[in-house]
Amino acid sequence: MRVAIIGTGLIGASLGLALRAAGAAEEIVGHDADPAALATAHQRGAIHRAEDSVAGAVAGADVVWLAVPAAAIDAVAAQAAPAMRDGAILTDVASVKSRVVESLQRAAPTSVHLIGGHPMAGSHEGGAAHATAELFVGATYLLTPTTHTDPAAYRRLHGLVAALGARVLAVAPERHDLLVAVVSHLPQLAATTLMNLAADRARDEHAGLLLLAAGGFRDATRVAASNPELWLDIARENRSAIVSVLDDYRERIGALRSVLATADDGSLARELAQARDARRSLPGKADTTGVLLWLWTAIPDRPGVLAEVTTTVGQVGVNIEDLSIDHVPEGGQGRLLLAVAGEEAATKARRALEDRGFEVWEQRP
């Protein structure tokens, strides 16, 4: 397999290192608008060779990753898509999906398979110098299939991402943007606000304030050290979803202020306990050591059914470890098989699919 990575910053270079470590690609070709970034990625072994143009990098590639900011997707896709071979897969790593997927669909010819992606992994440090092959291990990697997604292409990309050690979940592009506004974009802005508040207080009231910053403050503000340009791009692309979540957050902060101002200790205790319990229930790294159970369902031969099934399973937090599709020559149907790890995951996936009207059977090893 030949892979092209356009953009060799932290994520792009880490993709290259992870693919090489997993033995998942025979050749990885890279391109970056910044020659220094491209040279660093090459020196670190993230790519086998560098190309000085987007078209040159993607020519002949089986999978093309656009590891560039969302604001650059339009221009880069316009150069990449026409140079890609028939049957190749075009994907990205942008942290917003609705507009990006629409843009890629416009740029990509019908002979190219488009599947949006977003690895929920990163660091407050940027650049290829900080890239690591372990960046995606145990991380959630979101794929955003649509009604246009080819099942065989989805399976190939799913397998490639899983080989990086990531936990692959499918979610609809528009749903993705609302979800990440809560779990990624709001935490960044909250950390930014808290850090600026503390810095202003230190300057205006007590110069030694930041010397008191212990683990809790440092944990809560760690992402405030992230690249401002990256977050400006994200804020522009996902503005409406972020504003909606900030409105909700503002209401909750206001309610908390009222609880404190009125000395309502009972309500405060409930809030603290609820948050503690929710935090303790956060899932850890994916555990795929259990027995894989196969679920299968008969699916109609119509556009969008793969996206419907995979996003339904992803919505209940179940990772699809593997999938395959058996096509039935007659009758306009096929059989979709999904592998999940363990009884609990199988039960959750089955119930979710049955609620959507699918008949599901279990195939044990």
Residues 150 and 164 grouped into a single domain: yes
In a domain, 356, yes or no: yes
Tokens 């031969």 -> residue: 301
Residues 167 and 180 grouped into a single domain: no
| Domain boundary, last residue among 117, 151, 171 | 171
Residues 157 and 33 grouped into a single domain: yes
CB-based contact 217:210 (threshold 8 Å): no
192 or 205: which carries more pLDDT confidence?
Answer: 192
**What pLDDT score does 111 carry?**
93
Residues 128 and 62 grouped into a single domain: yes
Cα separations in angstroms, 333 against 301, 327, 337, 350, 362: 5, 7, 13, 19, 18
Report pLDDT digits (tens) over 88-138: 999 999 999 999 999 999 999 999 999 999 998 887 778 999 999 999 988
Report pLDDT digits (tens) over 312-338: 998 898 988 888 877 655 555 678 888
> What CATH number does the domain containing 16 carry?
3.40.50.720
**What pLDDT score does 207 carry?**
67
CB-based contact 115:157 (threshold 8 Å): yes
Residues 337 and 221 grouped into a single domain: no
Residues 162 and 244 grouped into a single domain: no
User: Does 154 score more than 80 pLDDT?
Assistant: yes
The percentage of residues in the chain with a pLDDT greater than 90, rounded to a whole number, is 62
Q: What rounded mean pLDDT belongs to the chain?
A: 89
Mean pLDDT of 40-46: 97
* Residue numbers of the domain that contains 343: 292-363
CB-based contact 157:25 (threshold 8 Å): no
The strand pairing partners of 363, in sequence order, are 294
Which of 342, 345, 346 is closest to 362 using CA atoms? Answer: 346
CB-based contact 267:322 (threshold 8 Å): no
- Tokens representing residue 179 in the block: 């979800």
What total of structural domains would you count in the chain? 3
The percentage of residues in the chain with a pLDDT greater than 70, rounded to a whole number, is 95
In a domain, 205, yes or no: yes
**What pLDDT score does 364 carry?**
59
pTM over 0.75: yes
Q: Is 239 helix (H, G, I), strand (E, B) or coil?
A: helix
Residues 182 and 122 grouped into a single domain: no
**What pLDDT score does 10 carry?**
94
Rounded Cα distance between 334 and 306, Å, is 11
Mean pLDDT of 20-28: 95
First to last CA, the chain: 30
CB-based contact 18:45 (threshold 8 Å): no
User: Does 174 score more than 90 pLDDT?
Assistant: no
Residues 265 and 305 grouped into a single domain: no
Mean pLDDT of 25-37: 97
The amino acid occupying position 72 is: A
Rounded Cα distance between 194 and 176, Å, is 26
Residues 133 and 53 grouped into a single domain: yes
301 or 192: which carries more pLDDT confidence?
Answer: 192
Residues 251 and 184 grouped into a single domain: yes
Confidence of residue 243 (pLDDT cuts 50, 70, 90): very high
Residues 23 and 127 grouped into a single domain: yes
Q: At what angle do helices 173-180 and 239-261 cross, to 10 degrees?
A: 30
CB-based contact 89:63 (threshold 8 Å): yes
Tokens 């259990």 -> residue: 290
